Amino acid sequence: MTLRFGTVSNNILDAIGDTPLLHLDGIYAKIEFLNPSGSIKTHIAKYMIERAEREGLLKPGDTIVEATSGNTGNALSMVAAVKGYRMLVVMPEGLSSERVAISRAFGAEVLFCGNFHVNEALARAKQLGEQPGYFCPSQFESEWNVEENREILGPEILAQLPAGCVPDALVLGVGTGGTLIGVGQAFRAVNPQVRLFAMEPSESCTILCGEIASHTIEGISDGFVPGIFQRHASLVNEVLSVSSVDAVTEMKRLARRHGLFCGPSSGAHMLAAQRIRAKFPELKTVVTVFCDEGEKYLHEYFMLPANMARPASASSWFQMPWLYVIASPQYAMAKPGSSCCAWRNALAASGYSNRCNNKVPRRNAVCAAGECVEVGNEMLPRPAMVCMGAVSCAGVPMDRPAHSIPKISTTR
């Protein structure tokens, strides 16, 4: 019998890697969410920490500090727990609450810095990392991140492809860019013609046009073009985008159709890979990665029964009988017609997570009637809707006056 874990180990870090490569709907998908701590990031976490130990940058009793949108924080927290280091995760608010909880479960301290994008957390982690007794791996900058993907993950995928089959394309979202660049380098070594496609959310096309906005493909497009991507941009053939709504819809389909419970970036990766296959039929072997597990998004997408799933478009919210209403005098004080940012700040002050896109009215409806303001975009993780009277929005009448809608939930 050939077993993946044929011998007994005393260390969970031995279970990193050797995940399946599946061929689904014409795409090769590396199932990295099966790694310990639930994401691809376990690879670089272990690699960077052991490298720092070897180079004398990290010593017993030290604290590891890192900026993250969550998965690297989870992975480093797990590695720190196993190796006995203190861990300080610096991350923005407004990301899935499970990622915060998972880091804490591994014994890490979580320091919130900024909202949704990682820029402020990055600056803070860098600053803390310069203090004596602290080590910051700097995942967005470090060539060790690229190296791990080139030396370990890339060759692992190559070894799993059918005999005689070389990759024609690699399609991946850009968080740090480490996976795309490192795995891409490994692929180029066996097929110099392999095409590398970077993907970003269509709401936040930072690489393509400098746009920084909110989206729901957590783990990519963190608010800046990372140093790794800047240094290696010439390796990338094309940048494409996938919308948040499409990514989440595809994420749900992957669970129902293929039994793969993964996060939104996996949905976006699958869609992007399929679009590349359709656009370039000559690219036969298209590879992507499913990066993190769906369990990290339970509260955002999976706590409602399917027949109460949130509608895909913002305006159809107003037709739902189960509207979430935040009934608080504080919100009622906000001026009708005020910008979505005012609403966002009011909500944030009360501890509600929201992802208001600053660009009014691109994705945020401010009702002409001035009686109802919706905060955030269609894919709000936690419904954040403020109703102050019977209104119609975008021509869609509510099925009953807002003031009679029961206060079903004020999710936090």
Residues with Cβ within 8 Å of residue 231, at least 6 apart in sequence: none
CB 88 within 8 A of CB 63: yes
Residue 357: other Cβ atoms inside 10 A: 20
Of 265, 266, 296, 353, catalytic = 265
Q: How far is CA 115 from CA 126, 154, 338, 351, in A?
A: 18, 33, 21, 12
* By CB under 6 A, residue 71 contacts ligand PMP: yes
* By CB under 6 A, residue 137 contacts ligand PMP: no
Question: x-or-dash pattern for ligand PMP, window 220-239, by CB under 6 A?
Answer: x-------------------
Instruction: Give burial (CB, 10 Å; 0-12/13-18/19+) of 3.
Output: exposed
* By CB under 6 A, residue 16 contacts ligand PMP: no
Does a cis peptide bond (omega within 30 degrees of 0) precede residue 361? yes
Interatomic CA distance for residues 300 and 309, integer angstroms: 11
Catalytic residue at 41? yes
Please give the backbone phi and psi of residue 150, each rounded to the nearest 5 degrees, phi first.
Answer: -75, -40
Distance in Å, CB of 318 to ligand PMP, minimum? 31
Distance in Å, CB of 262 to ligand PMP, minimum? 9
* By CB under 6 A, residue 174 contacts ligand PMP: yes
CB closer to ligand PMP, 177 vs 376: 177
* By CB under 6 A, residue 175 contacts ligand PMP: yes
Handedness of CA 189, 190, 194, 200 (dihedral sign): negative
Q: If phi over 0 gives left and psi between -120 and 50 gives alpha, with beta otherwise, what is residue 223?
A: left
Stretch that binds ligand PMP, among 84-92, 130-138, 169-177, 373-381 (CB under 6 A): 169-177
* Of 214, 267, 272, 277, residue with least CA distance to 241: 272
Among 178, 201, 223, 294, binds ligand PMP (CB under 6 A): 178
Among 39, 42, 244, 364, binds ligand PMP (CB under 6 A): 39
CB 361 within 8 A of CB 374: no
Tokens encoding 17? 């890697």
Distance in Å, CB of 147 to ligand PMP, minimum? 12
CB closer to ligand PMP, 215 vs 344: 215
Tokens encoding 34? 């099966």
Instruction: Tell me which residue has tokens 């260390």.
Output: 11
Of 30, 37, 39, 41, catalytic = 41
CB 365 within 8 A of CB 315: yes
* By CB under 6 A, residue 184 contacts ligand PMP: no
* By CB under 6 A, residue 35 contacts ligand PMP: no
Residue 128: helix, strand or coil by DSSP?
Answer: helix
Residue 227: helix, strand or coil by DSSP?
Answer: helix
Among 154, 173, 184, 267, binds ligand PMP (CB under 6 A): 173
Among 58, 113, 291, 387, binds ligand PMP (CB under 6 A): 291
Distance in Å, CB of 368 to ligand PMP, minimum? 38
CB 391 within 8 A of CB 379: no
CB closer to ligand PMP, 184 vs 367: 184
* By CB under 6 A, residue 142 contacts ligand PMP: no
* By CB under 6 A, residue 300 contacts ligand PMP: no
CB closer to ligand PMP, 30 vs 344: 30
Q: Given the rule CB under 6 A, which residues bind ligand PMP? A: 39, 41, 69, 71, 173-180, 219-220, 263, 265, 291-292
Which residues are annotated as catalytic?
41, 265
